Amino acid sequence: IPVKASYNWLDSRQWSLYASLGFTMDIPISSSVSSDFVLNGSALLNQKKSLNVPLQWSTGIGIGFQYHITPYLGIFAEPSFQYYIPDGSNIKTYRTEHPYHFTLPIGFRFSW
């Protein structure tokens, strides 16, 4: 569930400059892990268990630039930085190994 607020610093006929700040709550539905124990090519044991994963939170900040080609079409770039907040569990995920995330969306925006 994302929540984001933005503020327009500049909104001229040709350019827009804006900043955003927000947070996201991810709700895990179901998860399990399966382990196979093999000795000399023979399967000894297959173990499967359910995981109780807590809510996962992240926060982010970004800045955006847009050049207005026409009143209804613009080209934009929105570099943003996101931090995945530790959830307190001992489960290793991509988020626990790499808590900082940088993105650079670039594209066209249609508005009316």
Confidence at 40, pLDDT banded by 50, 70, 90: confident
Helix count and strand count (H, E) for the chain: 1, 9
CA 79 to chain centre: 13
Confidence at 26, pLDDT banded by 50, 70, 90: very high
Prediction pTM value? 0.73
Do you know the residue count of the chain?
112
Please tell me the number of Cα atoms within 13 Å of 48 on its side-chain side. Answer: 3
Chain segment 3-19, per-residue pLDDT in tens: 999 999 999 999 999 99
Chain segment 67-99, per-residue pLDDT in tens: 999 999 999 999 999 999 998 888 888 888 999
Burial 42-51 (b: 16+ CB within 10 A, else e): eeeeeeeeee
Q: What is the pLDDT of the chain when averaged over all its residues?
A: 91
Q: Which residue has the higher pLDDT, 31 or 54?
A: 54
